């Protein structure tokens, strides 16, 4: 068994060698710039004087990729538990004072310089990703900006961060991946897995990023559809919004969206209605029934969104004609206008709504009057009985809907439209 003295004789030279090698490595990797070593410039990023910080940041930016390792180390500088304890214990002792190494300002400034370097700072991606969980929101924000500036080279590190222990790192990683150009399928698949995270904020961020990327619909759409039953209303709404961005590709989650039309959150219902509308003619029959039911919802935004969705589904929503005709008398002007547009998109199959549309030509809202005129034109022959009402609307128009009336008349009776057009030209 080696004696303590022998152990010491071995340990001291080994420590000296290690320390010397470390100093030598730092010297050879610590370039000069304008009379100072890089480490000195980096240290001055924590200076209280703004002009000193800016000058130091400028010098670091000049060195470009050479400055990245030192800036990455600056992101890791924090007080150890022992040092923190010593700082607390000696704070009020005369003649004793342990200086804190922890400087959020230094870390934020270092992240800011790395952000300026963009793709050249990819070597600091691990440190920047760890800094997403920094206690200082300012540091975390700047680190997130830097990772976005690095772009695609940071993807592998960020994907791994989706399983980090710190939920703030997971959330910010999900947000950053959604803003990464050319994210790729691997990123989309990892975000789909993150929809099952234990934290609401992470699930919400993952859904939002999936909606931005619109990749791998065969995996992303079913995953988003499952999360329409999430315990959090904000997550459910974000998933519905994301499905809306997938458009017709979201048809695999159509039934889940139909269920969401009965959600206790108005935001979820609105987003689900928009998504069903984007699915369009491929929406299931149950979607039409759910949207019709929501035309009676207390929220005007839910009602107008439902009418809009029915219009986007088009002629397949013909059975909603009677209910949409009733919505032409809705107390909300936007809902009335959307109902008129929807009837026009249903077209000939909405012929029974002609009398209601004719009455809507007298609506208080110009948008509703214009939409009613356009709808009559699109319904076609069955709306010819409304020609006199359209002519009256033309003669009484003082709000700029004449173009809509004239377009409808061109479809219903081109000769009358030509006469009115000529009359307008003569008046000018």
CB 117 within 8 A of CB 66: no
**Assigned token pair, 22:** 């470390």
- Is the pLDDT at 394 greater than 90, yes or no? no
- Is the pLDDT at 6 greater than 90, yes or no? no
Domain 304-428 has CATH 1.25.10.10: yes
- pLDDT for res 110: 94
374-400: b or e for each residue (b if 16 or more CB lie within 10 Å)?
Answer: bbbbbbeebbeebbebbbebbeebeee
Residue 98 binned pLDDT confidence (cut-offs 50, 70, 90): very low
- Per-residue pLDDT of 339-385, as tens digits, reads 999 999 999 999 999 999 999 999 999 999 999 999 999 999 999 99
Assigned CATH for 34-73+102-161: 1.25.10.10
2-23: b or e for each residue (b if 16 or more CB lie within 10 Å)?
Answer: eeeeeeeeeeeeeeeeeeeeee
Check residues 201 and 56 and name the one with the higher pLDDT: 201
- pLDDT for res 219: 94
% of the chain at pLDDT higher than 70: 84
Give the residue extent of every domain in the chain: 34-73+102-161, 304-428
- pLDDT for res 81: 58
Quote the distance between the C-alpha of residue 8 and its chain's center.
60
- Is the pLDDT at 22 greater than 80, yes or no? no
Same fold, 34-73+102-161 and 304-428: yes
Residue 156: strand, helix, or coil: helix
32 - beta bridge partners?
A: 37
- Per-residue pLDDT of 254-273, as tens digits, reads 999 999 999 999 999 999 99
Report strand pairing: 36-37 vs 32-33. Answer: antiparallel
Estimate the share of the chain in helix, then strand, then coil, as percent rounded to the nearest 5.
80, 0, 20
- Please state, in angstroms and rounded to a whole number, the distance separating the CA atoms of residues 270 and 342: 16
* Sequence-distant (≥ 6) Cβ neighbours of residue 206 within 8 angstroms: 162, 174, 191, 192, 194, 195, 197
């Amino acid at each position: 068994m080696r004696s303590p003295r022998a152990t010491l004789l071995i340990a001291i030279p080994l420590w000296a060698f290690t320390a010397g090698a470390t100093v030598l490595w730092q010297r050879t990797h610590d370039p000069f710039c304008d009379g100072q070593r890089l480490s000195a410039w980096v240290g001055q990023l924590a200076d209280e004087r703004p002009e000193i910080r800016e000058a130091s940041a400028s010098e670091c930016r000049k060195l470009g990729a050479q400055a990245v390792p030192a800036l990455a180390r600056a992101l890791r500088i924090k007080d150890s538990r022992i040092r923190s304890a010593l700082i607390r214990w000696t704070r009020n002792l005369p003649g004793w004072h342990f200086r804190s190494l922890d400087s959020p300002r230094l870390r934020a400034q270092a992240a800011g310089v790395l952000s300026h370097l963009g793709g050249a700072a990819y070597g600091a991606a691990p440190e920047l990703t760890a800094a997403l969980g920094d206690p200082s929101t300012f540091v975390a924000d700047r680190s997130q900006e830097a990772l976005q500036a690095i772009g695609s080279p940071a993807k592998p590190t960020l994907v791994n961060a989706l399983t980090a222990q710190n939920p703030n790192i997971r959330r910010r990683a999900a947000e950053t991946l959604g803003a990464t150009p050319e994210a790729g399928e691997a990123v989309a698949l990892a975000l789909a897995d993150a929809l099952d995270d234990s934290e609401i904020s992470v699930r919400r961020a993952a859904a939002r990023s999936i909606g931005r990327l619109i990749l791998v619909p065969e995996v992303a759409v079913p995953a988003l559809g499952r999360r329409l039953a999430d315990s959090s209303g904000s997550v459910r709404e974000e998933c519905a919004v994301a499905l809306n961005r997938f458009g017709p590709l979201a048809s695999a989650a159509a039934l889940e969206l139909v269920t969401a039309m009965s959600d206790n959150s108005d935001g979820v219902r609105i987003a689900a209605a928009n998504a069903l509308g984007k699915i369009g003619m491929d929406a299931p029959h149950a979607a039409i029934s759910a949207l019709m039911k929501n035309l009676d919802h207390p929220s005007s935004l839910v009602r107008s969104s439902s009418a809009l969705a029915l219009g986007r589904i088009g002629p397949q929503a013909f059975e909603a004609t009677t209910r949409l005709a009733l919505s032409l008398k809705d107390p909300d002007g936007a809902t009335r206008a959307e109902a008129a547009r929807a009837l026009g998109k249903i077209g000939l199959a909405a012929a029974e709504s002609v009398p209601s549309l004719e009455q809507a030509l007298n609506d208080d809202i110009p948008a509703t009057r214009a939409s009613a005129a356009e709808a009559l034109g699109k319904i076609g022959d069955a709306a010819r009985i409304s020609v006199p009402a359209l002519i009256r609307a033309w003669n009484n128009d003082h709000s700029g809907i004449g173009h809509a009336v004239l377009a409808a008349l061109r479809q219903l009776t081109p000769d009358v439209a030509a006469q009115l057009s000529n009359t307008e030209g003569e008046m000018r």
